[in-house]
């Protein structure tokens, strides 16, 4: 068990797209010994994600887009099916996810329900992700979605049967952690 932490040095290694820092710290262990370690942490800000669902149709809205890190790590096309998500920037999580939902999926939603928050990769990334769900209907569709052109987002909007989406986890078509967590939440709580 760690008793207390003292940051000794923080060095910025990269501040391009986001910030990569090397942090040297010491901590006093329960037995009184002091240990010094250096670790790198990637700070990309905090984010929010949402799963839109239609209770009567038993469908969900997901997106498909190119994700370079998955391509580098063996995803042949780099395309990833995932729940709508985005960085908070200066917004609170609820405002962020409403904005991102409209930009990415074309649905203008008002009622969102926060279900939990989670660190997605706490060994190297500082981000905490706020998870939401919301019901959608055809009337809420105000644009085609697809993302913001100046951000070079090429997002395909997918409306899938819930059972098909769950099968896509089993067959490896859905490999995105946040999406799996949201789909499992709907199943666990018998929402769909």
Q: What is the CATH number of the domain that holds 121?
A: 3.90.79.10
pLDDT for position 109 = 95
User: Are 111 and 180 in a shared domain?
Assistant: yes
Q: Say if strands 19-29 and 84-87 run parallel, antiparallel, or are unpaired.
A: unpaired
pLDDT for position 190 = 95
User: Are 7 and 84 in a shared domain?
Assistant: no
User: Are 25 and 53 in a shared domain?
Assistant: no
Residue 130 has pLDDT above 70, yes or no: yes
Cα 185 to Cα 50: distance, rounded to the nearest angstrom: 12
pLDDT for position 90 = 86
User: Are 86 and 70 in a shared domain?
Assistant: yes
Residue 3 has pLDDT above 70, yes or no: no
Residue 105 has pLDDT above 90, yes or no: yes
In the chain, the number of structural domains is: 2
User: Are 39 and 82 in a shared domain?
Assistant: no
User: Are 15 and 91 in a shared domain?
Assistant: no
pLDDT for position 2 = 57
Cα 75 to Cα 62: distance, rounded to the nearest angstrom: 18
Q: Which residue has the higher pLDDT, 48 or 91?
A: 48
Quote the domain boundaries for residue 120: 47-188
| Mean pLDDT to the nearest integer, 166-172 | 97
User: Are 124 and 33 in a shared domain?
Assistant: no
Q: Which residue has the higher pLDDT, 29 or 25?
A: 25
| Mean pLDDT to the nearest integer, 19-35 | 92
Give the residue from 27, 48, 145 showing the smallest Cα distance to 93: 48
User: Are 35 and 71 in a shared domain?
Assistant: no
User: Are 105 and 12 in a shared domain?
Assistant: no
User: Are 15 and 70 in a shared domain?
Assistant: no
pLDDT for position 126 = 94
User: Are 39 and 67 in a shared domain?
Assistant: no
pLDDT for position 19 = 94
């Amino acid at each position: 068990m760690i008793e207390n932490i003292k940051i000794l040095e923080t060095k910025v290694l990269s501040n391009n797209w986001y910030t990569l820092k090397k942090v040297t710290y010491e901590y006093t262990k329960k037995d009184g010994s002091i240990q010094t370690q250096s670790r790198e942490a990637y700070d990309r800000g905090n984010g929010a994600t949402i799963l839109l669902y239609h209770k009567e149709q038993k469908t969900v809205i997901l997106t498909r887009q190119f994700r370079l890190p998955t391509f580098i790590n063996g995803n042949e096309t780099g395309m990833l099916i995932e729940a709508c998500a985005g960085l908070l920037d200066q917004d609170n999580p609820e405002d962020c996810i409403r904005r991102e939902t409209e930009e990415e999926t074309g649905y203008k939603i008002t009622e969102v329900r926060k279900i939990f928050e989670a660190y997605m990769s706490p060994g190297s990334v500082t981000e905490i992700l706020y998870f939401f769900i919301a019901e959608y209907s055809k009337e809420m569709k105000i644009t085609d979605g697809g993302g913001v052109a100046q951000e070079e987002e090429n997002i395909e909007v997918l409306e899938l049967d819930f059972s098909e989406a769950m099968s896509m986890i089993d067959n490896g078509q859905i490999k995105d952690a946040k999406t799996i967590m949201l789909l499992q939440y709907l199943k666990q709580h018998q929402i769909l």
